[in-house]
């Protein structure tokens, strides 16, 4: 839909973009000041900072960066409101809930499967194939990762088998979407049903009521004890708590992120994928195989999503249960859209969504707040809804997404 | 030199589609350093032939020889490797990518064999552009450059791939006369550099200006190949159509009555936020056809959309029969006596999955007699279709036939039937004959003149100057969103051409 | 694809498109860049195979499902299907079934129809949006919103007379579902946000907000049983009357007739009202509809809202008909709305088709339930997942009209092999 394309008028005030971004930052800061460890107990300090955020936003709006500016204004208002709430809460409650190192460590844990699946989704969608089957592909990875690890006794083999299973499911999606030119949303829905059925069926058939064995080979954690000795002590122990014993897959997701960015934006292959997703006929006329690129991209997306699933089963909880992805594939899809189909954008969104998942259980620590934990789980979806609604800068998908290509 | 084998030879190319023989044993040869025009009407088989040459279609019969060697193209990649470059009518460019990225796509320079080398790409593009004296910024995004520049990118794309044969498919269709002149200069330069060019067109004067030899196609068959020397417009037209062309449609002088469509200082902003119509004023009277001439993209679409209520004007007023409908929605416009034949009948004029009866009801499906109190009355819908369709000579189906099953000409007759049946005061016809065969064109033209004689006001917007000249009683020229001149139909094409480019900088040919 | 081998009734259409394509018609809807909308494809597909293709689709899915059974358990797939069939109660329809077998069948059939009721309604929720060219994946969220509304009203407002209480709860649930879906419709109509994305998001928002509402400490949790995440029960006078079987033993309630009524309303709305005409026009070709003076945005919103109302209705039927309260697990794992997608697709968005597909999937769900499937024949837990596989296969095959067309052509080729070969095409 070609609604208003954002264009800064020629008369834009100088620096309205950095000022707007700074405004958003100040809004967040305003809230943060009222939280541990700073604990501003008066509203004054956050209010001043929040007001500055609003002022920055107003500047950006006046300078023509309307969306950014309004976002900064909103950040300022929400920041002040949050700070007001926080200053009214008791310090003990706040300390019980807000343990930054725990939250950040958990944020990474929750963000990791999303990152894998979202990066996978990026390949598929950048090549023009909608992939709402990410959920199913993750689930395949989760089950077959566990199954493979169990049968071979090696987590490496488990991960590879998991990836292969996701790729196989993606191949089905690809075949229907590309060769049979079926509707890609219908195909993705079907693939999700299929994965749910297949993994559930095999799980019951193979593991019955006992569940997966307790001694599943697990993807190891990476212990970085030396982080704790970084001076000053408080920083060192903070870093150690956040990063000191994360799973290997968490670190690999950072590597994947960089690789994905390079492939997509710094190699001919990436150029081909993007050209196929934007204008397949143009790519075809210069000799790029549209079908080939799309098959490769969709299968890659399946393998990567499955990697995220395998992390869930043999990296995180060390078992498989039916439907254990529980909608994470859809959150990954949301992260992809929220991040505007770019790797770092998707990663940032995954972190944000991971944060909300990490924060929700913290609320359980205070009885009075425990009921709101579930509400927090809805946050990623609400944010994505707001994002697609165009309030926070519009997400524009690849031009040819969802459209089957017919060779002449 | 004459005995040297042709650079390219097509022998007996035949291509069938279900129910259609698109190319029927066509022979064609191209010499080194010549511009060879391929002339024919819409549907003559020009594009099919070129798609065969470019490896996009596989011929059912016949062979292709390059420098005397038989070749077979499985895909466009093969054609490219044999030195064929194609500039498609609809550019094969990716709007969100840069000029350089588009040009090197699929033949990217790399660093360490893995990374895309942007600097080298930019450099290569600059070199070629300089060699052929093209002014182009390699870092500009395609969506931000003009159509004429985009076409140059397409040509550069072929040159980057070391094309020796350049095929241009209706290259001037999207250009202003000024840009067309520049294109011809570029083609001259390419020819002098030794390239061979196939130039597809249905415009006689262009072909006579640029081509060394001219091959005429008609209904999938080759009619003749003639050298430019000695060829005339009349002669070529006869070859193209197969009989003497009636460039003039028989009509009596107009007898204009009251003003029924009164447009005053209309301003319209397009969906990119740019003002596309900038103060159009005009009065259209009963019983006259007013033609709007102009190069595509000068505000015609936005003007029509505003007149039909599809977009809200940002300023000015529109009155039909004295009633101000400037800010009313599309259905009010239609109710107040506007009829609209949209420029793309398949996308905008018809619901192809609806039956003809349902399509005829597209404006009044919620009014008596076909509906009452929100209920449809299908039998009355069918009954009306049974009356209307024969009256407009719609063939190939009855009231229950799906619109998508009709030929283009008959589809257009259905649109015409619907719009005229409603007895509008003003009929807006946008490109009413685009893509139609000669018979259907004649039908549409005759019908428009009949409606004029019945006392309707007709606003004809067309990119075809022939059509404007032969139908209009008055001609308005639109340029950059403004009406820049009014002419009588006695005006020459040259004069119009000058006005269409914003006034006489030079006498466009 | 080999266009020259299509069915004769398709050939006209295809040939026409080709003619248009011969000399580049700008922007024509014929070029290969043109990708048909879902609704367009479905229309095409509908013409191509009549009733044959959905049956073929279902058979193919069951066949593949049978292979799975055979490959993994070595059991006879036919015996498995037979056992599942016996659990559905559909054998009640056979006049020769009698005695205790018949009364057992009656009980089972009641359950099947009990499940069919919301499936038909969520199927309609998907189908109606489809007719307007939209894919409503949010049936599940709309169902949850409807169920929550129904349980809230059903368990409060206790002074009302029974029929009014029911009416208020049902209407409120439909309105709530409609408003929930209306958000997606509004976002599409106003800024063009894709309804698939927005309805997916709304699904999960409904799940989590619903979990909050009925969960521990949530506003709707029954304060009398603080240890269970469950709502208060619907007042007995607001229960839907049971007309077949025992009200105590979860007999079939009148909601089944409401679903049948909804089918009729759907058919009439689509085919016999000006609203339906608008919806179909927008679904097939929004651009032409707009040029014809139809408000596309209004129809997007209305179609989505009406769709949501069907799903919301489904939620209220389950709550007022047999569940009577809502617990956390139900909110989180309910997939009635997703199965509705399969129902609508297999039923090809027609009223009759949706009814039949609704019964089919209900039968599958019921026949594979722990209660009805003899574990010695086949493990019910396995069978439940088999149902999901079959469901997935149905959706997969239905989405691939070309696959069916290929099979169709293949059949034709077998029949007409020789004459085709002679023409040498």
Quote the domain boundaries for residue B110.
8-241
Are residues B108 and B232 part of one domain?
A: yes
Among A162-166, B146-150, B464-468, B500-504, name the one with the lowest average pLDDT: B500-504
- pLDDT at C192 (0 to 100): 82
Name the one residue in this structure whose structure tokens are 């488990």: A158
Are residues B213 and B163 part of one domain?
A: yes
Rounded-to-integer distance, Cα A336 and Cα A349, Å:
8
Q: Which two tokens stand for residue B82?
A: 């044999």
Query: In chain C, which residues have their Cβ closer than 8 Å to the Cβ of B352?
Result: 29, 40, 284-285
Pick the residue from chain C with its C-alpha nearest to A333. Answer: C197
The yes-or-no verdict on residue A194 having pLDDT over 90 is yes
Q: To 10 degrees, what angle do helices C336-346 and A184-207 make?
A: 120
Is residue B509 one of the residues assigned to a domain?
Answer: no
| C422 CA: distance to closest CA in chain B (Å) | 15
The yes-or-no verdict on residue C424 having pLDDT over 50 is no
Pick the residue from chain A with its C-alpha nearest to C205. Answer: A378
Q: Mark which residues 217-276 of A lie under 8 Å from C by CB.
A: none
The yes-or-no verdict on residue A5 having pLDDT over 50 is no
Are residues B229 and B148 part of one domain?
A: yes
Is residue B278 one of the residues assigned to a domain?
Answer: yes
- pLDDT at A242 (0 to 100): 87
Q: Mark residue B144 as left, alpha or beta (left: phi above 0; alpha: psi -120 to 50; beta: remaining).
A: alpha
pLDDT digits (tens, 9 = 90+) for A238-257: 888 888 889 999 999 999 99
CATH code assigned at B90: 3.40.50.300
Average pLDDT over residues B349-372: 89
- The answer to whether residues C143 and C314 touch, using CB atoms and an 8 Å cutoff, is yes
Are residues B410 and B329 part of one domain?
A: no
The yes-or-no verdict on residue C2 having pLDDT over 80 is no
The yes-or-no verdict on residue C88 having pLDDT over 90 is no
A361/C contact by beta carbon, under 8 A: no
Q: Which of C382, C392, C398 sits opposite A205 (nearest CB)?
A: C382
Rounded-to-integer distance, Cα B217 and Cα A26, Å:
70
The yes-or-no verdict on residue A235 having pLDDT over 70 is yes
Are residues B234 and B96 part of one domain?
A: yes
Q: Of B405, B423, B441, which residue is a domain's last?
A: B423
The yes-or-no verdict on residue B95 having pLDDT over 50 is yes
- pLDDT at B131 (0 to 100): 87
- pLDDT at C45 (0 to 100): 53
Q: Which two tokens stand for residue C212?
A: 């909050």
Rounded-to-integer distance, Cα B367 and Cα B382, Å:
15
Average pLDDT score over chain B: 87
- Short-list B323, B309, B312, CA closest to B425: B323
Is residue B1 one of the residues assigned to a domain?
Answer: no
Average pLDDT score over chain A: 87
- The answer to whether residues A164 and A287 touch, using CB atoms and an 8 Å cutoff, is no
Q: Of B423, B444, B478, which residue is a domain's last?
A: B423
Are residues B393 and B430 part of one domain?
A: no
pLDDT tier for residue C401 given thresholds of 50, 70 and 90: low
- The answer to whether residues A204 and A175 touch, using CB atoms and an 8 Å cutoff, is no
- pLDDT at A408 (0 to 100): 60
pLDDT tier for residue A390 given thresholds of 50, 70 and 90: low
Q: Which two tokens stand for residue B16?
A: 């069938």
SS3 state at B200: strand
Average pLDDT over residues B470-493: 89
| B91 CA: distance to closest CA in chain C (Å) | 11
pLDDT digits (tens, 9 = 90+) for A79-92: 888 888 888 777 77
Is residue B488 one of the residues assigned to a domain?
Answer: yes
The yes-or-no verdict on residue B89 having pLDDT over 60 is yes
Query: In chain B, which residues have their Cβ closer than 8 Å to the Cβ of A408?
Result: 51, 56-57
Q: What are phi and psi of C194, to 5 degrees?
A: -65, 130
pLDDT tier for residue C11 given thresholds of 50, 70 and 90: very low
- pLDDT at C57 (0 to 100): 81
pLDDT digits (tens, 9 = 90+) for C221-235: 888 888 889 999 999
pLDDT digits (tens, 9 = 90+) for A99-138: 888 889 999 999 999 999 999 999 999 999 999 999 999 9
Rounded-to-integer distance, Cα B138 and Cα B115, Å:
19
Average pLDDT over residues A344-361: 90
Average pLDDT over residues B142-155: 89
pLDDT tier for residue A4 given thresholds of 50, 70 and 90: very low
Average pLDDT over residues A366-377: 79
- pLDDT at C7 (0 to 100): 36
* pTM of the complete model: 0.84
Pick the residue from chain B with its C-alpha nearest to C16. Answer: B407
Are residues B237 and B264 part of one domain?
A: no
| B484 CA: distance to closest CA in chain C (Å) | 27
Contact B101 A271 (CB under 8 A): yes
Average pLDDT over residues C230-244: 90
Are residues B88 and B62 part of one domain?
A: yes
pLDDT tier for residue C409 given thresholds of 50, 70 and 90: low
Among positive and negative, which fits the CA dihedral B341, B346, B347, B349? positive
Are residues B115 and B17 part of one domain?
A: yes
- pLDDT at B357 (0 to 100): 93
- Residue C228: cis peptide before it, omega within 30 degrees of 0: no
Average pLDDT over residues B279-300: 90
Rounded-to-integer distance, Cα B37 and Cα B228, Å:
10
Query: In chain C, which residues have their Cβ closer than 8 Å to the Cβ of A390?
Result: 191, 193
- The answer to whether residues B40 and B198 touch, using CB atoms and an 8 Å cutoff, is no
Average pLDDT over residues C80-88: 86
The yes-or-no verdict on residue A8 having pLDDT over 50 is no
The yes-or-no verdict on residue C18 having pLDDT over 70 is no
Beta-carbon contacts of A10 under 8 Å, excluding residues fewer than 6 positions away, are none
Structural domains in chain B (count): 3
Are residues B84 and B221 part of one domain?
A: yes
The yes-or-no verdict on residue B420 having pLDDT over 60 is yes
Q: Of B423, B456, B476, which residue is a domain's last?
A: B423
Class of CATH domain A100-388? mainly alpha
Q: To 10 degrees, what angle do helices A16-33 and A44-62 make?
A: 160
* Side-chain half-sphere exposure of C107, counting CA atoms within 13 A: 12
Is residue B266 one of the residues assigned to a domain?
Answer: yes
| C15 CA: distance to closest CA in chain B (Å) | 5
- pLDDT at A250 (0 to 100): 95
The yes-or-no verdict on residue C151 having pLDDT over 80 is yes
Interface pTM, i.e. ipTM = 0.83
Are residues B229 and B106 part of one domain?
A: yes
Which residue did the predictor score with more confidence, A7 or A317? A317
Average pLDDT over residues A152-169: 96
Q: What are phi and psi of B499, to 5 degrees?
A: -65, -35
Where do you find CATH 1.10.3470 in chain A?
A: 100-388
* Interface residues on A facing B, Cβ-Cβ cutoff 8 A: 2-5, 7, 262, 266-268, 270-272, 274-275, 278-279, 281-288, 399, 408
Average pLDDT over residues A146-161: 95
**C-beta atoms surrounding C8 within 10 Å:** 7
Which domains does chain C possess?
1-35 (no CATH), 36-423 (1.10.3470)
Is residue B505 one of the residues assigned to a domain?
Answer: no
Average pLDDT over residues B458-478: 89
Rounded-to-integer distance, Cα B443 and Cα A389, Å:
48
Among A212-216, A278-282, B112-116, C244-248, name the one with the lowest average pLDDT: C244-248
- pLDDT at C43 (0 to 100): 53
């Amino acid at each position: 839909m070609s609604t208003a394309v954002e264009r800064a008028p020629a008369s834009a005030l100088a620096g309205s973009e950095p000022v707007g971004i700074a405004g958003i930052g100040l809004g967040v800061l305003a809230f943060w000041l009222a939280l541990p460890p700073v604990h501003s107990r008066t509203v004054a300090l956050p209010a001043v900072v929040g007001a500055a955020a609003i002022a920055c936003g107003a500047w950006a709006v006046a300078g023509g960066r309307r969306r950014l500016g309004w976002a900064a204004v909103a950040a300022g208002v929400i920041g002040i409101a949050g700070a007001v709430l926080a200053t009214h809460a008791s310090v003990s409650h706040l300390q019980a809930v807000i343990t930054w190192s725990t939250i950040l460590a958990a944020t990474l844990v929750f963000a990791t499967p999303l990152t894998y699946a979202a990066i996978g989704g990026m390949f598929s969608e950048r090549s023009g194939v909608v992939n709402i089957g990410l959920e199913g592909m993750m689930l395949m990875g989760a089950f077959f990762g566990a199954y493979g690890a169990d049968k071979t006794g090696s987590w490496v083999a488990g991960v590879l088998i998991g990836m292969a299973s996701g790729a196989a499911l993606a191949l089905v999606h690809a075949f229907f979407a590309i060769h049979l030119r079926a509707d890609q949303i219908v195909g993705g829905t079907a693939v999700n049903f299929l994965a749910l059925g297949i993994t559930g069926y095999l799980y019951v058939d193979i593991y019955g009521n006992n569940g997966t064995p307790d001694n599943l080979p697990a993807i190891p954690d990476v212990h970085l004890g030396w982080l704790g000795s970084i001076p000053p002590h408080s920083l060192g122990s903070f870093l150690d708590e956040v990063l000191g014993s994360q799973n290997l897959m968490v670190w690999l997701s950072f590597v994947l992120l960089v690789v994905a960015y390079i492939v997509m934006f710094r190699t001919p292959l990436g150029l081909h994928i993007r050209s196929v997703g934007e204008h397949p006929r143009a790519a075809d006329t210069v000799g790029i195989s549209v079908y080939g690129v799309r098959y490769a991209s969709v299968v890659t997306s399946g393998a990567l999503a499955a990697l995220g699933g395998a992390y869930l089963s043999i990296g995180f909880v060390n078992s498989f249960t039916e439907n254990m992805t529980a909608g994470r594939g859809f959150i990954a899809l949301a992260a992809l859209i929220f991040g505007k189909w770019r790797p770092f954008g998707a990663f940032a969104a995954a972190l944000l969504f991971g944060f909300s998942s990490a924060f929700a259980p913290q609320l359980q620590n205070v009885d009075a707040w425990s009921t709101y934990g579930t509400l927090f789980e809805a946050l990623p979806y609400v944010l994505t809804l707001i994002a697609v609604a165009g309030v926070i800068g519009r997400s524009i998908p690849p031009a040819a997404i969802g459209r089957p290509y017919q060779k002449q | 030199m004459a005995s040297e084998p042709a650079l390219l030879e097509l022998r007996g190319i035949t291509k069938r589609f279900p129910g259609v023989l698109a190319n029927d044993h066509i022979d064609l040869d191209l010499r080194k350093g010549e511009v060879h025009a391929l002339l024919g009407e819409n549907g003559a088989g020009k594009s099919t032939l070129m798609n065969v040459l470019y490896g996009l279609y596989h011929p059912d019969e016949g062979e292709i020889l390059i420098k005397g060697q038989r070749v077979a193209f499985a895909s466009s990649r093969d054609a490219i490797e044999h030195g064929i470059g194609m500039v498609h009518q609809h550019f094969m460019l990716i709007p969100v990518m840069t000029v350089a990225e588009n040009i090197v796509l699929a033949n990217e320079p790399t660093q360490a064999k893995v990374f895309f080398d942007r600097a080298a790409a930019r450099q290569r593009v600059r070199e070629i552009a300089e060699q052929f004296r093209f002014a182009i910024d390699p870092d500009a995004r395609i969506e931000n450059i003009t159509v004429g520049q985009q076409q140059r990118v397409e040509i550069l794309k072929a040159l980057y791939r070391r094309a020796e044969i350049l095929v241009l498919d209706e290259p001037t269709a999207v250009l202003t006369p000024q840009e067309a002149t520049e294109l011809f200069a570029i083609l001259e330069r390419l020819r002098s550099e030794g390239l061979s060019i196939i130039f597809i067109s249905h415009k006689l004067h262009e072909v006579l200006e640029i081509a060394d030899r001219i091959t005429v196609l008609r209904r999938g068959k080759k009619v003749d190949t003639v050298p430019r020397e000695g060829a005339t417009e009349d002669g070529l037209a006869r070859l193209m159509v197969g009989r003497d062309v009636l460039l003039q449609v028989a009509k009596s002088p107009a007898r204009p009555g009251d003003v029924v469509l009164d447009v005053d200082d209309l301003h319209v902003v397009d969906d990119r936020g740019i003002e596309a119509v900038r103060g159009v004023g005009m009065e259209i009277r009963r019983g006259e056809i007013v033609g709007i001439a102009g190069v595509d993209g000068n505000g015609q679409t936005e003007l029509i959309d505003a007149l039909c209520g599809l977009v809200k004007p940002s300023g000015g007023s529109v009155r039909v029969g004295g009633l101000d409908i400037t800010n009313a929605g599309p259905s009010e416009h239609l109710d107040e006596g506007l009829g609209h034949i949209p420029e793309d009948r398949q996308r905008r004029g018809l619901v192809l999955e609806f039956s003809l009866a349902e399509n005829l009801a597209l404006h009044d499906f919620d009014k008596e007699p076909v509906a009452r109190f929100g209920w449809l009355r299908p039998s009355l819908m069918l009954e009306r279709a049974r009356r209307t369709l024969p009256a407009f000579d719609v063939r190939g189906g009855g009231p229950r036939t799906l619109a998508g099953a009709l030929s283009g000409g008959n589809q257009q007759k259905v649109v015409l039937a619907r719009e005229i049946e409603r007895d509008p005061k003003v009929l807006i016809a946008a490109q009413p004959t685009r893509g139609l065969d000669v018979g259907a064109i004649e039908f549409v033209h005759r019908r428009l003149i009949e409606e004029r004689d019945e006392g309707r006001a007709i606003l004809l917007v067309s990119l075809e100057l022939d059509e404007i000249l032969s139908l209009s009683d008055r001609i308005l020229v639109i340029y950059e969103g403004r009406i820049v001149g009014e002419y009588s139909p006695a005006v020459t094409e040259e004069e119009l051409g000058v006005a269409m480019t914003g006034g006489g900088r030079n006498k466009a040919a | 694809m080999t266009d020259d081998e299509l069915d004769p009734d398709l050939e006209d259409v295809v040939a026409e498109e080709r003619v248009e394509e011969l000399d580049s018609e700008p922007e024509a809807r014929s070029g290969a860049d043109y990708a048909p909308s879902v609704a367009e494809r479905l229309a095409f597909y509908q013409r191509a195979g009549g009733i044959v293709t959905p049956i073929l689709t279902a058979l193919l899915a069951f066949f593949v499902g049978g292979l799975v059974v055979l490959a993994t358990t070595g059991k006879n797939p036919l015996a498995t299907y037979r056992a599942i069939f016996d659990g559905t109660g559909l054998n009640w329809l056979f006049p020769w079934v009698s005695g205790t077998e018949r009364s057992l069948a009656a009980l089972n059939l009641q359950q099947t129809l009990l499940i069919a009721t919301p499936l038909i309604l969520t199927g309609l929720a998907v189908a109606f949006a489809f007719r307007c060219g939209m894919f409503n994946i949010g049936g599940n969220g709309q169902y949850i919103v409807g169920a929550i509304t129904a349980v809230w009203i059903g368990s409060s407002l206790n002074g009302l007379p029974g029929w009014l209480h029911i009416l208020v709860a049902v209407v409120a649930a439909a309105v709530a579902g409609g408003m929930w879906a209306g958000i997606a419709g509004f976002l599409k109509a106003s800024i063009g946000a894709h309804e698939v994305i927005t309805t997916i998001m709304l699904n999960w928002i409904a799940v989590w907000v619903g979990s909050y509402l009925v969960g521990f400490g949530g506003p709707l949790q029954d304060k009398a049983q603080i240890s269970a995440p469950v709502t208060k029960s619907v007042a007995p006078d607001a229960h839907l009357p049971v007309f077949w079987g025992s009200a105590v033993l979860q007999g079939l309630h009148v909601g089944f007739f409401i679903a049948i009524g909804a089918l009729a309303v759907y058919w009439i709305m689509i085919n016999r009202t000006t609203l339906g005409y608008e919806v179909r026009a927008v679904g097939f070709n929004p651009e032409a509809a707009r040029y014809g003076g139809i408000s596309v945005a209004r129809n997007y919103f209305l179609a989505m809202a009406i769709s949501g109302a069907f799903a919301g209705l489904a939620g209220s039927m389950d709550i007022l008909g047999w569940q009577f309260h809502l617990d956390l697990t139900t909110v989180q794992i309910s997939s009635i709305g997703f199965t509705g997608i399969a129902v609508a697709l297999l039923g090809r968005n027609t009223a009759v088709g949706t009814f039949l597909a609704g019964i089919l999937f209900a039968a599958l769900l019921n026949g594979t339930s722990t209660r009805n499937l003899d574990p010695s024949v086949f493990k019910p837990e396995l069978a439940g997942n088999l149902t999901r596989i079959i469901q997935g296969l149905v959706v997969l095959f239905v989405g691939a009209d070309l696959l069916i067309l290929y099979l169709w052509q293949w059949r034709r080729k077998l029949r007409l092999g020789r004459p085709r070969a002679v023409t040498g095409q």
